[in-house]
Amino acid sequence: MTKVIVIGGVAGGATFASQLRRLDSECEITLFEKDRDVTFANCGLPYYLGNIIEKRSELLHFTPEQFKEKKDVTAKVFHEVIHVEPNHQTVTVKDLKNNTTFTEDYDYLVMSPGCRANRLPLDSDMIFTLRNLEDTDAIESYIEENNVQKALIVGAGYISLEVLENFYNRGIQTTLIHRSEAINKLMDQDMNQVIFDTMDEQNIDYRLNEEVESVDGKTVHFKSGKAEDFDIIIEGIGIKPNTEFLEDAGIEEDDAGYIPVNEFFQTNYRNVYAIGDIASYRYRHVDLPTHVPLAWGAHRAASIVAEHITQTRNIPFKGFLAANAVKFFDYTLASVGVTPADLKHFDYTMVESKQMNHAGYFPGAEPLHLRVYFEKSTRKIIRAAAVGKAGADKRIDILSLAMQNDMTVDELTEFETAYAPPYSSPKDIINMIGYKAQEK
């Protein structure tokens, strides 16, 4: 009987285990998860803290018992894989509750341990990160038990922005600080202006080029010299891959600790796969390496690996387009393609358009700003970004599909919209990008 071991649950590992069972009813599947929960909707965690998602049960997909009953997958939580021996096809597992270790052998190993949140070198009971449901429960309990009224958000990425909005909606006074002026770094910085405008409109305090120096009780001392009291601090200052357990395993890593994989998510050991946040591959549309720690990639990898192991299909992964979106109050900020920092590798031209998301005379029209970067020599789209109160995600999804099919920016004039006044314009903003590009 084929024996498959999975390291880590959630979007990568748990999805893979489910897909594998769908394709192979006989193999033995064991999943080791070092934390408490094997499957949960991690993208929904900030919205639970904001009381937008009211029932905690809606975030928790399967308990280990349900995973066994419905999927015939043995899921062992509070079990941490602390070493891998690829040459002997074994893993060493630590039972965290009983403080014991044991060894398991495998035919295939699928690693999806995810990333962990970076931490500030501070010691305080009121500092939290938000990466899993355990963190969420701890934050929720702390808010209730300590009557939290005032929160400090450190960092200005997705998690920080989402937590800030949800704390505000919950009635918690929020302050955001960031160590530089570059926020929401997957977005063009000038297009992030709506974030600052919104915070100004809502009287939300924010300070750039600011850092926490120390915490004394509830008093936070900042590097600027200011001191202020807070009831809770949420850190959102980036992530790092959970790959320390692979030390001396012989599995290749890059300089940042991510694991390079091939088109089937195989590592340098062909029966060892890496999926989810820890996997590093390439962009689909340009020749650059990247890693994209978002849910779509984890789910896609889970399917590809399950099909590859069972040989039901051998459809290679063609790379990431890195499509992403974040909601901040009334606005959506979305992008696809290379990051702004990666643009330096290309000889490109940028074209942009600003118009209403649908026919301007129809009620509810909102301004929409779309920007597209394309390579001068090939006219291929390498990046796009959009911001607006409505329609930004729709246009980025369209451009993602265009980039997937190697369309040129000029071909956007041929995009045929499903037009009616409530939905778009006869010349959609996508079309206008194409026409403007032709002028260049």
Per-residue pLDDT tens digits for 67-79: 999 999 999 999 9
DSSP designation for 335: E
Residue-level pLDDT at 114: 93
306, 71 in Cβ contact below 8 A? no
326, 332 in Cβ contact below 8 A? yes
One-letter amino acid of 309: I
Domains assigned to the chain: 3-35+77-114+242-310 (3.50.50.60), 117-238 (3.50.50.60), 330-438 (3.30.390.30)
DSSP designation for 51: T
272 labelled binding-site residue: yes
Taking CB atoms within 8 Å and a gap of at least 24, the contacts of 224-228 are 228/152, 228/175
Ranges of the chain whose pLDDT falls below 70 = none
Q: What is the pTM of this model?
A: 0.94
10, 278 in Cβ contact below 8 A? no
227 to 76, 126, 209, 210: CA distances (angstroms): 45, 16, 15, 12
10 labelled binding-site residue: yes
299 labelled binding-site residue: yes
140 labelled binding-site residue: no
Q: What is the CA radius of gyration of the chain?
A: 23
Helices 429-438 + 392-404 axis angle, to 10: 50
Residue-level pLDDT at 57: 87
- Please pick, among 43, 96, 227, 315, the residue that the annotation labels catalytic: 43
Residue-level pLDDT at 61: 83
The tens digit of pLDDT for each residue in 377-436 reads: 999 999 999 999 999 999 999 999 999 999 999 999 999 999 999 999 999 999 999 999
At 258, give phi and psi (nearest 5°): -80, 160
Query: Which of 218, 198, 238 is closest to 152 using CA atoms?
Result: 218
User: 424 by DSSP, 3-state: which?
Assistant: coil
115 is catalytic: no
59, 133 in Cβ contact below 8 A? yes
Residue-level pLDDT at 62: 86
18 labelled binding-site residue: yes
